[in-house]
Amino acid sequence: GEKVEQHESTLSVREGDSAVINCTYTDTASSYFPWYKQEAGKSLHFVIDIRSNVDRKQSQRLIVLLDKKAKRFSLHITATQPEDSAIYFCAASSDYNQGKLIFGQGTKLSIKP
Amino acid sequence: NAGVIQTPRHKVTGKGQEATLWCEPISGHSAVFWYRQTIVQGLEFLTYFRNQAPIDDSGMPKERFSAQMPNQSHSTLKIQSTQPQDSAVYLCASSLDFNQDTQYFGPGTRLLVL
């Protein structure tokens, strides 16, 4: 079945720098790629998504890139702030799964002052 | 908008007992999803409903797990004869529509089976 691999289990960046989290997927039929943020002790909070008909999407300081040929997508957080510290999960779903999300293992992002 | 509501937030059961978890989706959302989160397995899909009808339960452990959605305002996940390996955070999410629409997650129910 579909698998989503999240390459960085932990990531530490200095405040103000950019952070990049990378994910790969196995199912060529995957067409929807959301990202979620989980702060300590809390649930998943949707941050941004991208669909397979585009290769780039930006929302304020968040940029998502999609490379369908390489089956890779990434989350870029620019001008990082302390409140960006959290675990970030990537996910993927395909048309035939109709919304069922397959998640990566999560990346713990720490922003250092 | 109160978001997705899950009750109870915490539940402790003894091995072999039954546990029922409740989820109230966001009003107007037609799809409800259940996931499970553990340290070892990460986030796993369990099952989902569209317009109250069960669509995909491929992630549900067989025999002891069941889910229902008797009306558009709530869904339940029932675990019979709980085992220690069922200990996890059970997350409910809802989306406006089922087909790759944004899923909004509830706070989760932390289940501990002793």
pLDDT at position B2: 81
A44/B contact by beta carbon, under 8 A:
yes
Token pair of B27, please? 């009003």
Q: Which tens digits make up the pLDDT trace of A52-110?
A: 999 999 999 999 999 999 999 999 999 999 999 999 999 999 878 778 999 999 999 99
Cα separation, B30 vs B26, in Å, equals: 9
Provide the 10 A C-beta neighbour count for residue B37: 21
**DSSP-assigned beta bridge partners for residue A49:** A34
CA distance A66 to A33: 9
Asked if B43's CB is within 8 angstroms of A43's CB, the reply is: no
Say whether pLDDT at B33 is over 70: yes
Contact check, Cβ <8 Å, A99/B101: yes
Largest Cα span, chain B: 38
Sorting pLDDT into bands at 50, 70 and 90, what band is B50?
very high
Q: Is B9 exposed, middle or buried (0-12, 13-18, 19+ CB in 10 A)?
A: exposed
Note whether B43 contacts A: Cβ–Cβ < 8 A: yes
| Residue percentage of chain B with pLDDT more than 70 | 98
- In sequence order, what are the beta bridge partners of B53? B50
Average pLDDT of B97-109? 88
Name every chain A residue with its beta carbon within 8 A of the beta carbon of B103.
Answer: 34, 46, 99, 101
More confident residue, B2 or A73: A73
Query: What single DSSP character describes residue B44?
Result: E
- pLDDT for residue B98 is more than 70: no
Q: What's the pLDDT score for residue A97? A: 74
Compute the mean pLDDT over every residue in chain B, rounded to the nearest whole number.
94
pLDDT at A1: 78
CA distance A19 to A83: 13
Each residue's pLDDT tens digit, A21-57: 999 999 999 999 999 999 998 999 999 999 999 999 9
Cα distance from A41 to chain B (closest Cα, Å)?
9
pLDDT category of residue B86 using cuts at 50, 70 and 90? very high
**Are the Cβ atoms of B99 and A51 closer than 8 angstroms?**
no
Sole residue written with tokens 């691999």: A5
Question: CB B31 to CB A99 under 8 A?
Answer: yes
